[in-house]
Chains A and B, each alone.
Chain A
């Protein structure tokens, strides 16, 4: 697993799994389908991405296609010039 993906996975697991029956997040798990992200969670995730990967997330980029799973976030990060390989 790439460092980027591992960092991301670790953040998601530490921030959003507490109190759920899950102990891990599969790469293609939809956060919205299982209810992992509410409106505050979205802001926390974006905050993390901007600070950790030194990118700027635009409002129009805040769509499920970019942020709804670890794989989708990795694809999005690549589009912003972050290496995930």
Chain B
């Protein structure tokens, strides 16, 4: 990607300073804690978070927590360790497989997979769920397909029914929620806070798990689009293995990418179009300046709006009633008086 398209106008060094000042202020002044725990996943967002935390607080106030489970890519732990080693931070590893298994996650999900693919063999076959590819080129609706991969290379694809989709997603989300619980345990026992890794592209579209990876104390990266995350990570020296890796939630044993699972186009396209949509730029302006066709921009804008609408509740505190607007009790009701 061209550097200017990746940074989207960001002054990388100045932005790194601004993020570091934010982290320092939040951890030491606002929260009055000693440091930050970072759930280092082997992906770009958590790698960048670890880098800025070390730059802000020093390596002795940052702990990298690795939380693999049996379906994580082996590369994830490898790359996370490589980056932690480069930063010189303390690393703690907790295999969350037994906890996830105790919740019945694998069983519940595999039961649904077998409804569609009766000969599915966990541990041997892979599985993932994907949306239709290439939103820019095809006018397809958003529907999820289960993809089972066989050891001989065959792929079985079955469209999911609503109940099946919900059951798979509900089970899978327990993985991120287990990680959240573990991170809070590691943070609280050290009087640290939990650092968040959600970026702006994910935040705007709801691509995180509520009370999972969204359950954190601070979000130092939530104002940066994914392309900017890559640019800043490169600027701050995140290890090459992570910079060159295709972003993935890494929660399915079939290695689905963020693009397959949610965005339906590369981040380089998502980010410039999402930014245009957020700024309220007209379809005509975007076509003229960025070289897309009107039908492409209309399709993408519609997809953004749909995901924004579906995820509104993930960006706010749980809705409640206002205490100020509480109706007063009727005046003729007996009032309790102090015993004399």
Interface of A toward B, CB cutoff 8 Å: 32-33, 35, 37-40, 42-44, 46-47, 59, 62-65, 67
- Which 3 residue pairs across A and B have the least CB separation, nearest first? A39-B142, A43-B162, A42-B141
Chain B, residue nearest A65 (CB)? B139
Beta-carbon contact of A62 and B309 below 8 Å: no
Residues of B within 8 Å of A47, CB to CB, are 161-162
Q: Is B159 an interface residue (CB 8 A)?
A: yes
Beta-carbon contact of A35 and B306 below 8 Å: yes
26 contacts between A and B (CB under 8 A): A35-B305, A37-B306, A38-B142, A38-B306, A38-B309, A39-B141, A39-B143, A39-B144, A39-B306, A39-B310, A40-B165, A42-B143, A43-B143, A43-B144, A43-B162, A43-B165, A44-B162, A46-B159, A47-B161, A59-B132, A62-B140, A63-B139, A63-B140, A64-B139, A64-B141, A67-B141
**Cβ distance B142 to chain A, nearest Cβ, rounded Å:** 4
Beta-carbon contact of A32 and B143 below 8 Å: no
Interface of B toward A, CB cutoff 8 Å: 131-132, 138-145, 159-162, 165-166, 302, 305-306, 309-310
The CA of A36 and the CA of B136, in the complex, are separated in Å by 22
Beta-carbon contact of B309 and A35 below 8 Å: yes
Q: Which of B143, B159, B166 has the most CB of A within 10 A?
A: B143
The CA of A38 and the CA of B206, in the complex, are separated in Å by 13
Chain A, residue nearest B158 (CB)? A59
Beta-carbon contact of A32 and B306 below 8 Å: yes
Q: Which of A32, A33, A44, A65 has the most CB of B within 10 A?
A: A32
Beta-carbon contact of A39 and B131 below 8 Å: yes
The CA of A62 and the CA of B142, in the complex, are separated in Å by 8
**Cβ distance A37 to chain B, nearest Cβ, rounded Å:** 7
**Cβ distance A38 to chain B, nearest Cβ, rounded Å:** 5
Known: A38-B310, A47-B162. 10 other contacts (CB 8 A): A32-B306, A35-B309, A40-B165, A43-B162, A59-B132, A59-B159, A62-B140, A63-B140, A64-B141, A65-B139
Residues of A within 8 Å of B143, CB to CB, are 39, 42-43, 46, 59, 62
**Cβ distance A3 to chain B, nearest Cβ, rounded Å:** 25
Beta-carbon contact of B141 and A40 below 8 Å: no
**Cβ distance A65 to chain B, nearest Cβ, rounded Å:** 7
Residues of A within 8 Å of B166, CB to CB, are 40
Residues of B within 8 Å of A46, CB to CB, are 143, 159
Chain A, residue nearest B166 (CB)? A40
Residues of A within 8 Å of B160, CB to CB, are 43
The CA of A59 and the CA of B146, in the complex, are separated in Å by 12
**Cβ distance A35 to chain B, nearest Cβ, rounded Å:** 5
Chain A, residue nearest B262 (CB)? A39
Residues of B within 8 Å of A64, CB to CB, are 139, 141
Chain B, residue nearest A67 (CB)? B141
Chain B, residue nearest A30 (CB)? B302
